[in-house]
Structure 1
Amino acid sequence: MKKLAVIALLLSLTGCFQPMVYLRNKLGYPVDVFYDTQRPERPFDPLQDLEVKGEVPLAARQSGNRRMLERGNDMQQKELMLARLTLQAKKLGADALVSVRYTYYTSMTDNGYVMSGLAVRYKEEHSQ
């Protein structure tokens, strides 16, 4: 009976959890976002390569006792970078960012990052 109750509980929680995703294509961005492994279905013209880069100090939780405990930027920092990149694309008149990539490095004192992508404008679709 206990096994049945546990199974029922697990099945009821199935839709409550979402797997962690690198970065989501949130509807709140001013342009569509397509990562390195994705391509829009619509044809497009390239406008300009864009890049956001910088460094932020290590958080206290990332190092201790002269050892690195955790590397990279947190999810909020990544979302902020993507928001900045999409705003740059929108200012150029882009409809989307394609081939978006995120890379980082960690030194003794800082997290460095680079997020890049290609701003594109969708081609007009002609009906026949």
Structure 2
Amino acid sequence: MKSPRYFLFLITFCLSLTGCFRPVIPISTGPKYPIDVFYADQQPGRPYDDIKLLYISEEVPIRANQKRSDGRMLSRGNSMLEKDALLAKLTLQAQRLGATALINVTYQYYTTATTNGYSMEGLAVKYRGEQEAN
């Protein structure tokens, strides 16, 4: 049977190691937007008034690495960079309308033989009791 001193040493050693290591992939909270963003399965938890349903879409040519030389598709066009750019544009539209949040945000993408298409929609809302900053 191991002594309590051995277990104390083992616990101390393990705890000291955790301060030495950093995660290989840095933890990120994602991009920051000028207003709050809530996807379709989320709610802001505060009262709000609807402003306007917004919709945005874009198409970009498929990338060279998405197709083989024989024309066979290798990957779909679901790009996080395109999604983030689209959401940034949508939040700016909402902010221009005086919104303080964008709720029920949905995202869709498609790929054709020549195009990656992206669309996003969300409801621009204003929290009740918020004053406009001029």
Identify the residue that residue 21 of structure 2 maps to in structure 1: 12
Aligned residue pairs, count: 114
Identify the residue that residue 41 of structure 2 maps to in structure 1: 37
Identify the residue that residue 5 of structure 1 maps to in structure 2: none
What is the distance in 2 between the residues matched to 1:33 and 1:68?
A: 33
Q: Which runs of 4+ in 1 moved over 6 A?
A: none
* Correspondence 1:76-115 to 2 at 5 A: 76-115=81-120
TM-score, normalisation: structure 1: 0.78
Contact 2:36/2:101 (<8 A) preserved: yes
| RMSD between aligned residues | 2.5
Residue ranges of structure 1 left out of the alignment (5+ in a row): 1-7
Of Structure 1 and Structure 2, which has the larger fraction of its residues in strand? 1
Percent identity between the aligned chains?
47
Residue ranges of structure 2 left out of the alignment (5+ in a row): 1-16
Structure whose alpha-carbon radius of gyration is higher: 2
TM-score, normalisation: structure 2: 0.74
